[in-house]
A and B are shown apart, each in its own frame.
Chain A
Amino acid sequence: MTLLRLISFQYVRKHKLRWLLTLAGIVLGVAVFVGMHTANQSVLRAFHQTIDRIAGATQLQVSAGEAGFPEEALEIVQNSPDVRIAVPVIEASVNPGRGNLLLLGVDMTGDRSLRDYDLENNNDDAIDDPLVFLAQPDSLLVTRIFANAYGLKIGDKLPMSTMAGPRDFVVRGIMQSGGLASAFGGNLAVMDIYAAQKMLGRGRRFDRIDIAVREGVRVEQAQERLRKLLGGGYLVESPGARGQQFESTAQIYSLVSSITSMFALFVGMFLIYNTFEIAVSQRRSEIGILRALGATRRQIRTLFLGESVVAGLVGSLLGIGFGLLLARGIAAYVGAMLSEVYGVAQNVEDVAAEPWLLAAAITVGTLTSVLAALIPARDASRVDPVKALQKGKLQLIGQGENMRRRIGAIALFALAVGCMSMSHIRPLFYLGYLLAVMSAVLFAPTACNWVTRTLRPFLKWLRPVEGALAADSLIESPRRTSGTVTALMLSLALVIALGGIARSSYKSIQDWLVIALNPDLFVTTNETLTSRSFVFPPEIGEGIATIAGVDLVQMVRTVRINVRNTPVMLVCTDIASVARKAHLPPREGNPDTLYNEVAQGKGVIVSDNFALLRKFKLGDVLELPAPDGTLRMPILGIVTDYSDQQGSILMDRKVYIEHWKDTAVNVFRVYLDKPSFEPAVRARIQEMYGGRTRLFVFTNQDLRAYILKLTDQWFGLTYVQIAVAVLVAILGIVNTLTVSISDRKRELGVLQAVGGLRSQIRGTIWMEALAIGFTGLVLGFVVGAIQLYYTLEISRTDVAGLRLDYQYPVNIALVLVPVILGAAWISALGPAESAVRGSLVEALEYE
C-alpha cells in the first residue's frame, strides 16, 4: 500500500491523461454492460410489476394463447370445487391519443373479490353510480395518475376509436394511486368486460380467467385438477409464469448486449495491457532502484497488479455511473420497441440496477484490468536491477517470443477450424470462436509488423522524412503499437460483423417482402400491424370483397400460442389462395403438393427460424394447444418467413376456426384487379367502414416502409454497438499516440534540436496515426470476415434462427476507411501539437 501511494500514485499523477484514456476501455465496457442489463432488467421488472399489480389476489390464471377462449370455459372453472372465485379478464393495450393505456376488461359484479380497486374515499360511490357504470358500456374507471396527467374528472369524456366506431368513454370512477392503480405506470383503465368485448371486437371470448382457490385447497392441487378439467388446450399457471414471450425476447437483448460489453471490455483489456507495458518500460529505472533497495520480485509484481486493481475499480465505478445514465435511454428504447413489435404492455417507471449486477460489473471490470496487467507485471518483476539502471529501449519483441506467438496463433487457428467442423456441439462452436479470436490476437503483432513494413516505402515516397520516421517508430515499438492495433482490429472486426449481419438481414427481408407481402392493400385494426388488441369480424372482409376492382380478399388471423413453452406466432389464412398469390418456395417439403395438403388441413408449414430455434424438422408432429384440446399437426413444409422473431406456423383458416372457435380477423390482404384501382378501392373501404369501425388501410408501399422501419428499430442496437466499437477504436489511437509522444519526448526533442521543422514533427505524428489506423483497418477487415461468419452462426442457431447469406459489408468497410483514418488524424492533432509546443529543454533534460 505504501509503495502504491509513494510510487504508483505519483506516476499516475504525472500521466493523468494517459490513465484516463486507459480507463476509458474499462469505463465503456462496464457502462455498456451495466446500461444494457439494467435497461433489460428494468423493462422486465416493469412488466412483472404490471402483472403482479393486476393479478391482485389471483393465485392461478387460465389462458389459451392470444386468441383467448369461448366464455363457456368460465362456468366450468367456476363450478370446480377447488375454486373460490373465478373472474374473466380481457387485457389490451390501446392508444386513446394520450399515450398507451392498458385497458383491463373485468366483470365488475365479481372482480372486486379478487382485486382491490382502492377507490377514492374508500367508497364504492367513487364509481359515480355502480349501476350506471354497468348499464352504460362507455363507463371507464381510470387511475388518479392518469386523471391528473390529462386533467380528467368524473363525468369527463375520453374519445377512443373502437370496433364499434368512434366512442366517447365517460370517466365514472377514479382509483387511488398504489396497488392496481399503479400498474403500467398508472396508465390503466378498467371497464366492464362485456363492453370491452364489443369495443375490441372480441366476440364472446375472454383472454383469461383469474382464480382464487378455495380455503384448504393447495394451489398446485387445484392447478392440476383444473388442467385435467379443461384439457390440453388451456394453460393453468400462476400469474408470475406469464410473460415468457417478453422474457425470451429480452433474453436476446441480454445475449447481444453481453457480447457487446464483453467485446468492449476485451478491447479495453488491450488498451490496459498497452499502457502497463509502456509503464513498465518507462519505469524500468524506477523498478531497478526499488530492486536495488531490496524490493523483492513479488513486491514489484504486486505493485503493478495493485495498480491494475485500482485502475479496474476506478474504471468500473465510472462505468457504472455512465451505465446507469445510459440505461434510462436504452430502457425507454427497448420498452417502446418491445411494445411495438410484440404489443406487450409495460411501462418502465424506475430504472435501477440490481446489487448483483453492480457487483458483477465491478468484478468483471477489475478482473479485466488485472488480467491485462498480468504479463506487464510479470515482465516488471523480471527486470534485472543492473540492466534496468542502464539507459536504452526495451520495445523490441524478441525474435523467440515472436516465433512462439506465431506458432501459438497457427495452433489456435487449427484448433478453431477443428471446432468449426463440430459446430453442432454448441460449447465447441463457442470454444472455436474464442480460439479464432485468440489466434488473431496472437498473430496481430506479426501481421502489424508485416503491414507496417509493406507501408514504409509508400509512406517514405509520400513524405521522405516524416514517412520513414513514422514507419520506423511503429516498427521499432511493436509493444506500444501492437496493443492498439489489436484493439482497433477487434473493434473493426465487430463493426464488420454487425454491419454484415444487418446487411444480410435487410436483403433477406426485402426478398421475402417481395413474395410474401404482395397484396395491393392491407386493412388492419391498428396503426401498427403488430398490435392485436382489436380484431375484425369476418363480415367486413366479405363486404370488402364485393367492392368493384377487388380481385381477392385473404383473411388473416395471427395469434401467439405456446409451443414447447415458447410463444410462437400462428398465422391462419386461406392457404389455397396464398399458394396462388404469394407462393413462398419451401426450403424443405414438396413444392408441388405442400400447399394443397396444408389447405386440406393435413398439416402445417413452419418458418425456417421456428424449425431452427425449436429444433423441429420436416415430418415432425407439432402439438398445438387449442381450446378444444391438443391439436397434433405434422410439419409438411419449411419456408423462409420473417413474420415473427420467435418463429411462425402457417395453418389453414378453416382448421383454425374449427379448433379455436374463433372467426376473428387481424388483417385483410386485398388483391386488386389492377394496381391503378388502389386509390378508389381504398376510398371505398373507408367510406363503407371508416365511420362504423376502427379500420386502417395501408398500401403495399406503406406496409413495406413500416416493416423496414421495424427492422431498423431492431438493428438500432446494432448501430449503438457499431458506435461503441468505433469509439473504442478511436480511444485506442488517442491513447497510443499520447503514450508515443511522451515516450518519445527525448527523440522528438533531439529531432527539433538538430533542425527538424515543427511541420515535420507534426507530419511524422500524423503519419504515424494514419499508419496505425490503416494497419488496424487491414487487420480488422480480415478478422471481420471471420467474425462475421461466427456472428451469422450465432444469429442462426442461438438468437434469431435466421439463415442469412454470408455477405461481406463492402459498403460499411468503405465507409470505415475515411472514418477511421479521419479519426486517427483528429486523434493525432492534440498529441502532435503537444510534441511541437513542448519544452525543448525539458525534452533534452534526460541527455
Chain B
Amino acid sequence: MNKWLVALAACTAFAQDPRQIVEEVQKRAQSKSQQYEGTLEVVDAKSKVSTKRWEYSRLGAFGSSKSVLRFTAPAEVKGVALLVHNHPDRSSDQWMWRPAIERDQRIALQDRSTRFFGTDFSYEDLEERDVNQFDFKLLGEETIDGHPCWKLESRPREKKVSQYAYSYLWIRKDHYIYAQIDAFNKAGLARRIKYSDVQDVQNIWTARTIEVFDAAKKSRTTLKFEKLRYNVPMDESAFTLQALRRAS
C-alpha cells in the first residue's frame, strides 16, 4: 500500500512539474514518422467557406523532424508544397514549392507570423513545439470540454524566434495530449487552437480535428486528419527541395 502511495505521490510530483508534463506529451506522441491526408476548411467572418485538401508526411520527431505538406485539391492549388526542417536549437527552415512557376521560395523567419495560404494557421503554427525551445510554468488545473487538464504557460526561449509573447497550454491529464492552446502576442489573444476527436491511432492518442480561431479576423479554420498512420517507412531523400521539384 505504502509502495503505491509513494508511487502515486511521486507520480503526482512528477506530473506537476510543467516541463516534465510537456516532455511526457512529447514522449507519448513520439513516432518515427507520420502520414495523413488533411481536409482544411476555412470559414471567414462572413461565413464564407473554402475547402482544400493536402497530404502530409513527417519523418523524425520533435526538434529534428522533417515534413512535407502538399496540396492536392482544388485543382488550382494542386502541387503547392511546404517543406519544413525543424531544428532542436533554433527556428525551423521552411520552403514553399510552386509548380506553376517551377520554383521554390524560402519562407523567411520574419514571415512566419503571416497566415499560411489564407488559413488561420500561421507558418509558425505548422512547426512542432519542441519542449527545449520554451520555458514553462504550471498555472493550475482546468476542465476543457469535460476533460481535466493542466494549464501551463509557455514562453519562447531567446533563440526561438516567435510571433507569440506567450501561450497558455491545456494538456489533458488522461492521455497527455493538448486540449487547447491560446497564443498571445503583444496585443492580446492572437489564436486559439482546439484539439478534438481524440482517438488512439497505433497506440498514440491523437486529436483528429484541430480548429484554429483567429481572434483578430474572427475567422476559423478546421483541419481534419484522415488516413492517419504512424511509423510508416519513409526515405529521407523525400524531404528535400529536389524531391519537391521531382514530385511536381
A interface residues with partner B (beta carbon < 8 Å)? 74-75, 78, 83-86, 107, 109-110, 112-113, 121, 123-125, 127, 129-132, 134-137, 194-195, 198
Contact = CB atoms under 8 A, between A and B. Distances in A.
A510 to B, nearest CB: 46
B114 A137 contact: no
Nearest to B48: A125
Contact of A137 (B50, B100, B109): B100
B17 interface: no
B114 A113 contact: yes
B74 to A, nearest CB: 8
B76 A132 contact: yes
Interface of B: 44-46, 48, 50, 52, 71, 74, 76-77, 79-80, 96, 98-101, 103, 105-111, 113-115, 117-118, 123, 217
Contact of B45 (A83, A123, A127): A123
A193 to B, nearest CB: 9
Given A109-B96, A125-B48, A194-B101, A134 B117 contact: yes
B118 A130 contact: yes
B111 A131 contact: no
A78 B101 CA distance: 24
Contacts of A137: 98, 100-101
5 contacts: A113-B110, A125-B118, A131-B77, A131-B117, A135-B100
B115 A86 contact: no
A136 B110 contact: no
A129 B118 contact: yes
Contact of B110 (A78, A125, A194): A78
A194 B45 CA distance: 30
B71 A134 contact: no
Given A75-B106, A78-B108, A86-B110, A131 B52 contact: yes
A136 B114 contact: no
A271 to B, nearest CB: 66
Contact of A134 (B74, B80, B123, B217): B80
Contact of A84 (B76, B110, B123): B110
Contacts of A195: 101
B118 A112 contact: no
Contacts of B118: 124-125, 127, 129-131
Contact of B80 (A74, A83, A85, A135): A135
A347 B192 CA distance: 45
What secondary structure prevails in chain A residues at the interface with B? helix
Contacts, number: 80
A110 B44 contact: no
Contact of B76 (A78, A107, A135): A135
Contact of A124 (B98, B101, B115): B115
Contacts of B105: 107, 109, 194
B148 to A, nearest CB: 38
Nearest to A198: B101
Given A109-B107, A131-B52, A131-B71, 17 more contacts: A78-B109, A83-B110, A110-B108, A110-B114, A113-B111, A113-B113, A123-B45, A123-B46, A125-B44, A129-B77, A130-B118, A131-B80, A135-B71, A135-B98, A135-B100, A136-B76, A194-B103
Nearest to A108: B114
A618 to B, nearest CB: 46
Contacts of B107: 109
Contacts of B50: 129
Contact of A112 (B44, B98, B114): B114
Contacts of B217: 123-124
Given A135-B77, A198-B101, A110 B111 contact: yes
A136 B117 CA distance: 13
B110 A123 contact: no
A837 to B, nearest CB: 81
Nearest to B108: A78
Contacts of B44: 123, 125
Given A124-B115, A131-B77, A134-B80, A85 B110 contact: yes
B98 A194 contact: yes
Nearest to B109: A78
Q: 7 closest A-B pairs (Cβ-Cβ)?
A: A130-B118, A110-B111, A131-B117, A135-B77, A132-B76, A78-B108, A109-B111
A130 B115 contact: yes
Nearest to B94: A109
A327 to B, nearest CB: 44
B247 to A, nearest CB: 15
Contacts of A127: 118
A233 B27 CA distance: 52
A79 to B, nearest CB: 9
